[in-house]
């Protein structure tokens, strides 16, 4: 078994007593990572609003156009499991500089893309850098912040990146109302370059790299599995109109086989503490049940952001600027409700939150599936606000419930599974909704629809989301509060568990060594 490094610790050591005062230099390190994480996640939310514009400019179908979002999410899903290895193998400063450099290269390529394929390639390179930022931020916070102050600091580190859903769509709408879509990337470049320069100047190494080896077969099987599934799902809409290059069921079958091989590969690796994903997390029902429900919650929530701009533009006639402004209240609600849900969970448990939230969530989906050109925009804003609020309550509750049922040494793998499942679900469900939109339009060319065809397409996509959402209501009754199986019997704090889950993987080392490292780490940061 390998020796845990600074970056390996993903959960607080409950027995460690510590001052509430932040050690010198810690606030600066975390501040740089917070700003950088906000930048890369803001970028993720800029493109959905621009999807109708991109479809028109490049002359592609909605099934093809959605790959600017699906490709991004898919890359995150494939690379997030590998971020555990990256943070164990390399210094904090090295990881930050390489990740931000990749983001800048991808942003540049997207800004100058002469064809749609180059734009997708730029997004994939962007995602390659983005994948590590949230795990890096959360892991560093858990490692450097004293135990007595972790709850408050974790609330800040999770709330700040969550503002991106509120700012991103509005910024995109404003930019697109006066400038070309290329400016969504051009304007991001100087900010990213400044963050890179600040990180190169101020960040110091606070970790000790481990001599762990990258398991290439695991990485390849992960890419094959997730890639095959999402690619196959994305072809469903094109197959219905006779435009798919191959049968969608072939890549879906390849993807399922790849995932099965990936799972089998992890079993021997986990005995040597070198697994990408420790399969023992799935032996606990208290983890698996919330994870399965989260697949459908995240899939609907992220996937609808792919199809919603098409619905609001083609059915209700909103302009690009209006579309961006429409999404602001929902994005703000996610930040507020998610922060509050952790405290409510600690007092009442998961079901008093999950069941009412699931009912409201489903009711809104049913209402949205009946939308047409006569539906008031104000009514739609209220409906979307309710939808995102209910979703945020379920998101935080499911995360806390699942992570609370794992032993401390399995927190990193549980977080990795949760983050990868969310990204994969968003990519897969986005493809499903686009396929339903294409099929529901009844047109051979879904890029050019009249109002009646667009309404039919929107109703089909949202009715599909409602049908999928029924699984969430059923699953809500099976999500319970699980006592932590940690050796000391200490339960996991709601806010911390939610933050760790959002952080994704941070490696499979034991938590017990954390206290012994705190002094050395704080001294290193101070220097």
Token output for 98: 């390489």
- What pTM was estimated for this model as a whole? 0.70
Give me the residue label for tokens 């699931």: 358
Domains in the chain, please, with CATH? 6-526 (1.20.1250.20)
* Whole-angstrom distance, CA of residue 434 vs CA of residue 186: 28
**Closest C-alpha to 484, from 496, 471, 493:** 493
Summary count for the chain: helices (H), strands (E): 22, 0
- Dihedral, CA of residue 79, residue 409, residue 18 and residue 494, to nearest 10: 70
- Give the per-residue pLDDT at 513: 34
- Kindly report the CA angle at 522 between 154 and 157, in degrees rounded to 5? 15
Q: What is the pLDDT of residue 360?
A: 94
Tokens of 504: 């994704």
> What is the model's pLDDT at position 362?
94
- The three-state DSSP-derived secondary structure of 128-156 is HHHCCHHHHHHHHHHHHCCHHHHHHHHHH
CA-nearest of 523, 403, 524, 345 to 10 is 403
CB 284 within 8 A of CB 486: no
SS3 350: coil
d(CA 334, CA 318): 23
DSSP code of 20? S
CA gyration radius, the chain: 22
Residues 6+ apart with CB under 8 A from 483: 404, 405, 489, 491
Q: How far is CA 172 from CA 175, 204, 388, in A?
A: 5, 34, 19
Residues 109, 115: Cα–Cα separation, whole Å: 11
Q: What is the pLDDT of residue 447?
A: 58
CA dist 338 and 141 (Å) reads 19
pLDDT by 10s per residue, the chain, length 527: 333 443 333 334 344 444 556 666 777 888 888 888 888 888 877 887 788 888 888 988 877 887 887 788 778 777 877 777 777 778 888 889 999 999 999 999 999 999 999 999 999 999 998 888 877 776 777 667 665 565 456 556 655 655 666 677 778 878 888 889 999 999 999 999 998 998 888 887 766 777 767 788 888 888 888 778 777 776 765 665 566 667 778 888 998 999 899 989 988 887 777 777 778 888 888 888 889 998 999 888 878 877 888 888 888 888 777 777 787 777 777 777 777 776 677 677 788 888 999 999 999 999 988 888 888 888 888 998 899 888 888 877 787 777 767 776 676 677 777 777 777 787 778 878 888 888 887 765 555 677 788 888 888 889 999 999 999 999 988 887 665 554 433 344 444 344 333 333 333 333 233 333 333 333 443 33
pLDDT at 486: 46
Q: How confident is the model at residue 148, as a pLDDT?
A: 54
CB 143 within 8 A of CB 206: yes
Alpha-carbon distance values, 147 to 20, 142, 343 (Å): 7, 8, 18
Contact 461, 307 (CB under 8 A): yes
């Amino acid at each position: 078994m390998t020796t845990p490094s600074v970056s390996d610790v993903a959960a607080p050591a409950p027995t460690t007593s510590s001052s509430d005062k932040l050690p010198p230099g810690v606030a600066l390190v975390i501040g740089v990572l917070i700003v950088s994480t906000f930048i890369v996640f803001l970028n993720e939310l800029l493109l959905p609003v621009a999807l109708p514009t991109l479809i028109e400019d490049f002359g592609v179908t909605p099934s093809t156009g959605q790959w600017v979002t699906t490709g991004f999410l898919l890359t995150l899903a494939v690379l997030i499991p590998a971020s555990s290895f990256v943070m164990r193998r390399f210094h904090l400063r090295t990881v930050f500089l390489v990740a931000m450099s990749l983001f800048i290269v991808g942003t540049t390529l997207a800004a100058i893309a002469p064809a749609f394929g180059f734009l997708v390639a730029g997004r994939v390179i962007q995602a390659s850098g983005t994948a590590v930022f949230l795990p890096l931020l959360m892991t560093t916070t858990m490692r450097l912040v004293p135990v007595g102050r972790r709850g408050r600091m974790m609330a800040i580190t999770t709330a700040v990146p969550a503002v991106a859903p509120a700012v991103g769509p509005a910024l995109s709408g404003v930019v697109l109302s006066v400038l070309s879509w290329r400016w969504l990337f051009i304007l991001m470049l100087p900010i990213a370059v400044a963050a890179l320069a600040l990180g190169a100047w101020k960040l110091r190494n606070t970790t000790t790299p481990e001599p762990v080896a990258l398991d290439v077969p695991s990485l390849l099987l992960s890419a094959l599995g997730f890639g095959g599934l999402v690619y196959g799902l994305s072809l469903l809409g094109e197959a219905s109109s006779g435009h798919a290059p191959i049968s969608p069921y072939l890549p879906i079958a390849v993807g399922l086989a790849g995932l099965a091989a990936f799972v089998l590969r992890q079993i021997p690796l986990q005995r040597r503490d070198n697994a990408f994903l420790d399969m023992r997390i799935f032996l606990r029902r208290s983890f698996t049940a919330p994870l399965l429900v989260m697949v459908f919650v995240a899939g609907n929530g992220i996937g609808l952001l792919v199809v919603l701009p098409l619905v609001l533009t083609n059915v209700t006639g909103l302009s690009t600027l209006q579309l961006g402004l429409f999404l602001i209240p929902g994005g703000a609600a996610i930040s507020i409700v998610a922060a509050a849900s952790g405290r409510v969970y600690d007092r009442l448990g998961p079901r008093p939150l999950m069941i009412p939230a699931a009912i409201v969530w489903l009711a809104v989906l049913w209402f949205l599936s009946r939308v047409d050109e006569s539906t008031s925009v104000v009514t739609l804003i209220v409906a979307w606000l309710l939808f995102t609020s209910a979703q945020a309550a379920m998101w935080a509750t499911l995360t806390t419930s699942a992570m609370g049922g794992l032993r401390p040494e399995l927190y990193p793998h549980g977080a990795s599974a949760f983050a990868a499942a969310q990204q994969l679900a968003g990519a897969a469900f986005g493809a499903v909704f686009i396929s339903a939109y294409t099929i529901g339009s009844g047109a051979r060319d879904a890029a050019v629809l009249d109002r009646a065809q667009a309404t039919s397409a929107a109703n089909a996509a949202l009715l599909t989301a409602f049908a999928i959402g029924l699984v969430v209501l059923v699953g809500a009754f099976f999500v319970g509060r699980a006592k932590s199986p940690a050796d000391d019997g200490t339960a996991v704090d709601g806010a911390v568990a939610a933050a760790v889950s959002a952080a994704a993987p941070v490696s499979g080392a034991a938590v017990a060594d954390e206290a012994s490292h705190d002094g050395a780490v704080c001294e290193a940061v101070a220097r």
